[in-house]
Structures are given as structure tokens and as C-alpha cells.
Structure 1
Amino acid sequence: MAQFPFIQGHRGCRGIYPENSLPAFRHALNIGVQVLEMDVCLSSDGEVVVSHEPYMNSLYASHPSGNPVLKSEEESLNLYRMMYSEITKYDVGKRGNRLFPEQRAVAAVKPLLRDVLALGEEFRRTSGKPVYYNIEIKSDPSEYGKSQPSDVAEFSKAVHAVIAAQVDWSYVVLQSFDFQVLKYWHTVWGSVNLSALVEKESPTNVLAELGFTPAIFSSSHRYLTADMIQFCHAHGMQVVPWTINSTEEMQRFEQLGVDGIITDYPNRAPMIR
């Protein structure tokens, strides 16, 4: 696969603007980020929605009335059981996020994947700069038939169709923690760049479980070692750890030879200044 730019804006730029929102993706592009990282779920009417969870998160979501979504309400606000027109009535930015005190509190809704891609492609056309996309299918076997389709094929086909209609595949990485998703994409669309998301699994085990070599090994930076990076490179995999938020750690992992990093704070990355 081609070498993507080093810095990837996690959920746009979660540390600065509401996660997975158009304001976050727009700001990331404006400060020099060229890889937009995001998550996708499905609505009840089959729309591909950019959202980390398949429900309204009580940390930052608000009801149409303006009242905060309560933790006890999350399960009932399942995106897969909601029409997209209903989803857009919930604000996900005005309250801010207490976990990210620097995040600007602005009005935002969960956007459609096609709207995020349209934003990126318009930026590419007007700026002349390339824009890349790292798109995570939020899939979990325990949620099959609950907050997502029971078949990974249905989920995958919906996501593939949106991307294929708007973006050249050389600018796309498809990632997932669910290896059934990655296996499906490898079998059906073998030329797509795939990234195996893990927390602390070794690359040896990932290769054994997948049965093929993904383009990228993407683990939590907390468990990533120099030996693992060397192993991945020797076996034809790039290494993109998540989620690194300090300038010092970004520089340390760059020196260790990773091929990119995912960060909530791309503004702290000296690589794009």
C-alpha cells in the first residue's frame, strides 16, 4: 500500500471539537491533517452513520428537548433501531465532553458517512491537497442482530457502496476490531487496504487468526513494542498505533519507526506544523 501521511485525526480531532462531527473533521483538515479517522454504524433505514457507539452516549448527547441523555437511557437509544431523521434531532456537541476539557462546545449531530466524505473531497478539490480516510466498521459479534445487522456482509456492503460512490480506494483504509469483517472484505474486495485493530494482541496471533496479512497492524500504543514493530515490517505490515496524545509520545513512536499515529490532538503533532 502507499505510504499515508503520518498523523491521523482520531474521530476528526476529538480533543478539540466534538468527536465524529463535521466541525471536527473540518477543523482537522484546516490545521493540516490529511487522514481523517472515523467510526461507522447503521441506522434502521440503512444509512451509514458516523458514530463511535451504536447508541447515544450519555457523556455528551442531548435529547431533542435539550435535556442530557442519561446513562440509563443509552441502551434504548440504539441507532440501529432509529431512523436517521430521528438521530439528527439529538445534539452531540453543545454539552462538550468532560473527558476532553479543551474540546469546544458547539452544536453538532451525528453525520452521514457520505457527508464526511463529501467534506473531505471538497477540501481536496479546493486546496489541492490529498485527503485520506481511515474508516472503522464498529462491529462486535455480541451485537450481531442487536445494534447492527446479524450478517457482516450486509453491514460491509452498505459501507462499501458509500465509499465506492465518492472516493478513490487508494485513499481509503478500512479498519475493524471484528476480524469477521476484515475476513469478509479480504475475500470480497481483496484490493482494499485493511487495518487490524487490536488492543494488546501480538501481530503473530493476528496473522494466525486472520489467515492473511493485513496492510496495517493497529494496536494500542500502550502495548506496542519495538520488537512488534520490527516483526510487522518484516512481514509486510505497516504499524499505526492508537491513541497517542502527547507531543513527546508522538516523537518517541516516530523514532521507533511506526508508519503513522492516531491522535485526539493533531494540533500537538510537530509533524504537521
Structure 2
Amino acid sequence: MFDEQLAGFKGDEQCIRVVGHRGARGIMPENTLLGFEWTIKMGVSALEFDVMITKDSVPVIVHNHHLNRDITRTPQGDWLNAPEPRISDLTYEQLSQFDVGGLNIFTEYGQRFPEQIFMSGQKVPQLADLLRLINRPEFRHVRLMLEIKSDPHVPDHRDRQAQTVEAIVNVVRAHNVQARTVLHSFDWEMLRMCQIEAPEMPTSFLSQLPEEEATAGSDPASAFDAYVGTLPSVPQAVADAGGYIWAPYFKDVTEHDVAHAKQLGLLISPWTVNDPHDMVRMIDLGVDAIVTDYPARLQREMIKKQVRWQRTEENTNAALTSA
């Protein structure tokens, strides 16, 4: 079941999948159509990105529940000042007025990605925009790890969860990419809703232990906190909840957990792995896929370890053939 959707995230002894995080955030403006297209063209066939809905229920690709001032400029070209408007308070027309094509290098977040190019004219895309992109004939091999975001601070949180799932699933179905999409979230309650609303798509369960702090410029993974302390084993809990992929924060991954997850039939896709030493550790642990801001950096480490990121039978220019 779900063989087609999971194929892009399933590794083996000689293959680990490269998953572009927010496209390739280390070098391209994050969660932009420009960044996604560039990432695919460099040989990455799986994308991980974040989706939530606007005030008028349009699914959009953006990470934080509010516009991040470190990557957002006004129509006049000025960096956004506080207060940062919440996505749930903006219509898509209002949201589309902002430019998210560059980093403010004078901020802590901006200094995290010194190699990222600076562009102008990049708007927060609708989910539908990305789906049209991957439906181009040359991109029909691309798989999606679609992270559904919930906002616990909205007054009607439970209703908003259901509206978000429904709106996202409707757009995925409208573009007929269910067979290439995995639904992915820290909010395990929303994943249960996904399993009911969209049984034709597998679910991927994100986790992060609470002792790990949120990084600059990012909302914390608070949706998962409610489950910590009640779980004897995170992989077991994912399997019990009907998940097919376990997506842990890479610092939380142990050899024992990887072995346990594999025994349970889960795929393992740690995030967000950017340092070469951490990449090598994940490769040596034998995970199925690695989510990274630096796909080219990960590809180089895999070449050194003689590991492919595509199977030999797959028709892609990025395939690595053994000597």
C-alpha cells in the first residue's frame, strides 16, 4: 500500500534519498517557486515544505504562523518591522504584496545562511502554484513531503485544524498529485484528520524532543509537545498511529531507534541535517531519507560514502553509478 508515494522516500543499503528542505534554503530563497524549481533541476526529486491557510482559506507555502521579518520586505522594499502579521489574519491578496526573496543579513536568522542568494519579486506561493510546477512533464517524478501546519494560538483552533486539512487535501486532489504526496506534520491530531479525510495518502509523523530549542527565525515544534511523556517509544507511537514515515529531529536519532523503526516497517527521514559530520552519521545509521537545506553538500558526502540518492533503475540525471 502507498508504494508509489513512499518510493521517493524509501532507501536501501546503497541508496538514501535527498529531500530538499523548503527547497534548498541554504542557497535559495526558502519556500519560493524559484527555489523549488532550482532544487528539482539540480537532481533533487523530493521536497519538504510547509503549508497553512490564509484568512480566506487559501493554502500557502510558508513556515511560520506569522510573516518572518528577517525574510520579508514590504512593497516599498523595506524590511518588515514588528508586529509581524499572522498568516491567519491576512487574505492571500494581502499576503502576496510582500517580497520573500531575500535574507536580512544583519539578523541572527539571516546570518545562518550566508550562501543564500538575494532575489527580489518573490512572493509567498500558493500550494497550487507548486503543484502546477511539478505537473510539468519534466517534473512528474517529483515527490512531496507536505508539512501541514497548525496554529494553536487562533481562537477556533480545532475548527481551523479541520479547515486546513480540508483545504489542502482539496488542492492536492484538484491537481491529481495524491500518488506523489505524503502528508506530514508535528500535529499528530491533524494527521489523524488526514487519515480520515484523505485515506489515499500516507502520513508522516514529525517529532522533536522538548529539550531541543527552536532555532532563530522559526516557530517551535510545540504541536508535538503534548505527546512527549506519554510515549514509551516514538517509533512505536508512530506505527500505532498508522504512520508510514517517522521524521525525527536528527539530534534525537539513535542506532536503537533506527533499528526499532525498521522492525516496525517505518521509513526514517531525519531533519534538518546541514553539517557534513551529521550527514555522515545519518548515512552510517542507514536512514531512508535525509532532509537538508544543502542538497548539493549532502550529495557530495554520499558520493564519498559510495551511496546513491536514486535507485539505478530510476531515470534521472542525478543518479550516481558505482565505479
| TM-based fold match above 0.5 | yes
33, 41, 44: which one pairs with 1:30? 41
Aligned to 2:83: 73
Q: Percent identity?
A: 29
CA contact (8 A) 1:58 1:68 kept: yes
How does 1:243-262 map onto structure 2 within 5 Å? 243-262=272-291
RMSD: 2.1
Aligned CA distance change for structure 1 residues 210 and 150 (closer, same or farther; 3 Å) = farther
Aligned to 2:99: 91
Matched, 1:235 2:247: no
Matched, 1:268 2:297: yes
Provide structure 1 residue ranges, at least 5 long, that are not aligned to the other structure.
none
- SS of the equivalent of 1:195 reads strand
Instruction: Find the aligned partners of 1:87 and 1:46 in 2 and give their Cα distance.
Output: 12
Aligned CA distance change for structure 1 residues 63 and 83 (closer, same or farther; 3 Å) = same
CA contact (8 A) 2:239 2:264 kept: no
Aligned CA distance change for structure 1 residues 265 and 21 (closer, same or farther; 3 Å) = same
| CA positional deviation for 1:166 | 1.2
Aligned to 2:134: 120
Instruction: Find the aligned partners of 2:239 and 2:78 in 1 and give their Cα distance.
Output: 44
Instruction: Find the aligned partners of 1:59 and 1:52 in 2 and give their Cα distance.
Output: 13
Aligned CA distance change for structure 1 residues 102 and 4 (closer, same or farther; 3 Å) = same
| CA positional deviation for 1:203 | 7.7
- SS of the equivalent of 1:214 reads coil
Provide structure 2 residue ranges, at least 5 long, that are not aligned to the other structure.
10-16, 105-109, 210-227, 300-308, 310-317
CA contact (8 A) 1:195 1:217 kept: yes
Instruction: Find the aligned partners of 1:32 and 1:236 in 2 and give their Cα distance.
Output: 27
Aligned to 2:118: 105
CA contact (8 A) 2:18 2:44 kept: yes
Matched, 1:181 2:190: yes
Instruction: Find the aligned partners of 2:123 and 2:158 in 1 and give their Cα distance.
Output: 23
Residue type matched to 1:63 in 2?
T
- SS of the equivalent of 1:135 reads strand
Aligned to 1:54: 65
Aligned to 2:206: 197
- SS of the equivalent of 2:144 reads strand
Matched, 1:212 2:221: no
Superimposed CA distance per residue, residues 185-209 of structure 1 (whole angstroms, 9 cap, x where no aligned partner): 1233233111100113678246448
CA contact (8 A) 1:13 1:264 kept: yes
CA contact (8 A) 1:183 1:210 kept: no
Matched, 1:82 2:90: yes
- Counting matched residue pairs gives 265
Give the alignment's TM-score, normalised by structure 1.
0.89
